[in-house]
Amino acid sequence: MGHPASPETERIEVNLDAMPPWKGALRYVPFPWEAILSSPDPEIQRITQAIRSKAAEQLPDGIMHRPQCVADIHPPMVLDGRAKNAGPHETVFALANADVRLWLDYRLGARLMNLAFCARLGEDPRSQALLLDQLSVVAAEFRPLQRSGWTAYDPNRPLPAEGDGVWLATGAGILALVRILDLMGDRVPAPLRADLKRNLRQEIALIVESWEKKIPWYVKKQTYRSNQWAMPLCGLVYACLYLGDESLRPAYELGVLGLAKTLLAQGEGGSWSEGYSYAAFTLQDVLEVVHAMVRAGDPRLADLPMLRAFDSWFAQMRLTGPYLVNPYDSGHGLAGSHPWPALLLGSLITRNPQTRHAVHRGWLGERYSEDWFSLVYLHLAKDIPEAAATPTHAFYPAQQLLVWRRAWDHENAMALWIRGGSGNDFHLHDDGGHLSLYRGPEAILVEAGTPDYSTPDFNRLYRGQKGHNILQTPGARCERFPTEMPAVAVPVRIESLGAEGGRVFIDGRQAYDDVAHWIRRIEWSASGWVILEDEARLTKTQEAGHEWFRFHTGCHEPLKPTATNDREWVVAWPSARIRILADAPIRVRSVPWPNAVLHPEIQCLLVEAVDSRDQLRLETRIDLVE
């Protein structure tokens, strides 16, 4: 399974010797809601009005009950696509995943917060009535917040007698309830508050039990890089702070030390080992909890190097035009119109003037989202200074990921990202050596992206080698490891990197068993060109017609590659011109290929050898067309 990781990309080990216990009182310090909601800031007033409108739209929806059978999972809820293949486990799997989708996809917590804002403002008694009725249903029906069975998608693998433990709905549900109790305070009747607090204690006990007995798979394997490890622990820390009971101190420390492992495992550069999308929703919860710890006087997680740099990394993941840096299982390839809550919360913790400037200028989203995160940020970030020198390029060793843009200009700037591979990766794709290239709103070279996991042929079409602009080999790791490929090192060595371009050297031989040698050099210039030089030798001779390389273009219309001679081909479309030159006769074909970002299909260039061979050298030049 590949070669051992090189020293540059070894998995980061975690040392908690420098994490002393905290002696301060367990307490929850509320956000300054009175000051926020009475602020004269026009943007705060706009967002508050938008939240009122959302709450008014929700009133006809009435109360949401927890599904008790598969038939209860109907629009707007969505049945997990894997349930139909779970055989005898269909119901238990579907219901367990419905819990997650209620809190995350259908955003039950966000709906409750909208109603809570209206109730807090006292403008519509119907909002308060519906909120309290819905909270009563949550208190009665959502016990526990996460039902067992979320791993039961395999019909041939029985669910253990003790179940599969706490999971994503555990953390998401706890955070949502604490937010609402924070905002509403004693506006929630004392008996209902007592019921919800009782439930929070029960959730704390379940989380502690899951860790002590090692019930979930991610605790058994100590997979603390995973969002699945982090999110229940976020709920644990938040609930302990909110309840403020000293008897919960051991549970609180368990949660804090567990989250410290998650953050220390990422390295010091601020990057997240599962990529942008998983960072966006996992760090949103982590940072909310860390901010609550800081308000309570516990700075231990906020002071870790990873969190001090996270907001800078997250900002760098926004490229030119609408595009995001999207390796890994990143369901987000296009940026939304607003900065992500994780970025805003991270900025409040780091108080980074460069991030504040980028947010304020609209580089990371044209306007603020209409939710409580934005309200808190706008109120608390007022005194963070701004600095204009936001870097245009960065390299993250823990991911072996390079990001470069000519300028922070969404209209015209050239931008690219280059991916190696790290022993620290999780939720990874078979993408070692990949290059994506953009100019303003135009996508030139892309990867296939990440659709829903239940998408037919997901591994071959998207996650594997064929979904990326790399060497194509006979053995597909994603088929041998259909759920999670082992992380392997594909080191990226930077030879030059600056405002005018760069040059990198990638040793790709470690990514695949059937590769004896693969070196890729990538050079680019801000003037609008990229050159890839590939030297590849496989362990076995491949028959004539074998596909050696491929390039996913951003072009939707059929392309017509033209041979200059038997070793040189040219293909062009309005945005770019590509010249491919080999040391042996080749054929270049253009075929449609599904793309999860540029729906539904793009044109993919296949570079095939005319004769049988075990090695090939290729030079590919891409020129952007003005």
DSSP state letter for 514: T
Residue 487, both tokens: 């992380």
Residue 1: the pLDDT is 27
Residue 5: the pLDDT is 32
Residue 267: the pLDDT is 75
Angle at 544 between CA 540 and CA 548, to 5 degrees: 65
Residue 184, both tokens: 């509403």
Please give the Cα distance from 222 to 216 (Å, whole number).
10
Q: Are 414 and 526 in contact (CB under 8 A)?
A: yes
Q: Are 227 and 235 in contact (CB under 8 A)?
A: no
Q: Which residues are CB-contacts of 218 (< 8 A; sequence separation ≥ 6)?
A: 224, 226, 228, 229
Q: Are 333 and 449 in contact (CB under 8 A)?
A: yes
Backbone angles phi, psi at 231, to 5 degrees: -65, -45
Please give the Cα distance from 256 to 24 (Å, whole number).
14
Q: What does the DSSP assignment read for 116-178?
A: HHHHHHTS-HHHHHHHHHHHHHHHHH-SSSS-S-TTTT-TTSPPPTT-S---HHHHHHHHHHH
CA 544 to mean position of chain CA atoms: 40
The identity of residue 602, as a single letter, is: I
Low-confidence ranges of the chain (pLDDT < 70): 1-15, 17-18, 106, 478-480, 482-483
Helices (H), 265-340: 276-296, 305-316
Please give the Cα distance from 224 to 230 (Å, whole number).
7
Residue 25, both tokens: 């009182």
In Å, how far are 307, 334, 339, 409 from 360, measured between CA atoms? Answer: 21, 20, 10, 15
> Does the predicted model carry a pTM greater than 0.95?
no
Residue with tokens 């591994």: 459
Residue 115, both tokens: 């109603």
Residue 3: the pLDDT is 29
Please give the Cα distance from 462 to 595 (Å, whole number).
8
Residue 4: the pLDDT is 29
Q: Are 57 and 115 in contact (CB under 8 A)?
A: no
Torsion over CA: 142, 148, 152, 156 (sign) = negative
Torsion over CA: 31, 32, 34, 38 (sign) = negative
Residue 295, both tokens: 């308000």
Q: Which residues are CB-contacts of 362 (< 8 A; sequence separation ≥ 6)?
A: none
